[in-house]
Amino acid sequence: MASVLKAMERHGEKYVGREDGEHLSARTPPGSFYTDEPIFRRELEEFFCRGWLNLGREEDLANPGDFFTREIGGESILAVRGTDGQARAFYNVCRHRGTRLVDLEEGTKLRSIVCPYHGWTYSAEGRLVGAPHTDGLIEFSKEDSGLYEIRLESWGGFLWANMDAGALSLRDEFGRLFAKFDRFPLDRLRRAARHTYEVNANWKILVENYQECYHCAPVHPDLNRITPYFSGKVHDYFIDGASRSPFSGGYMEFAKDYTSMTWSGYTKRPLLQGMTEEDRRRVYYYAVFPNLFFSLHPDFLMIHRTWPVTPTHSRVECDFFFDPATMARPDFDPSDAVGLWDVINRQDWAVCERSQKGMRSRVWRGGRYTDQEPQVYDFDRYVRERLGLS
Give the sheet arrangement for strand 128-130, strand by strand.
112-114, 121-123, 128-130
Say if residue 9's pLDDT is above 70: no
Relative to beta strand 87-91, strand 149-155 is: antiparallel
Q: Residue type for 224, please? A: N
Q: What is the pLDDT of residue 257?
A: 97
Q: What is the pLDDT of residue 5?
A: 30
- At the top level of CATH, the class of 56-158 is mainly beta
Share of the chain above pLDDT 70, in %: 95
Say if residue 20's pLDDT is above 80: no
- Cβ atoms of 89 and 151 closer than 8 Å: yes
Whether the predicted model's global pTM rises above the 0.75 cut: yes
Q: Residue type for 38, please? A: P
- Burial state string for 110-149 with b = 16 or more CB within 10 A and e = fewer than 16: beebebeeeebebbbbbebeebeeeeeeeeeeeeebbbee
pLDDT tens digits, one per residue of 26-65: 899 999 999 999 999 999 999 999 999 999 999 999 999 9
Rounded mean pLDDT, 234-261: 91
Cβ count near 212 (within 10 Å): 21
SS3 for 125-183 is CCCEEECCCCCCCCCCCHHHCCCCEEEEEEECCEEEEECCCCCCCHHHHHHHHHHHHCC
Where along the chain do its domains lie?
Answer: 2-50+171-387, 56-158
CATH 3.90.380.10 fits 2-50+171-387, yes or no: yes
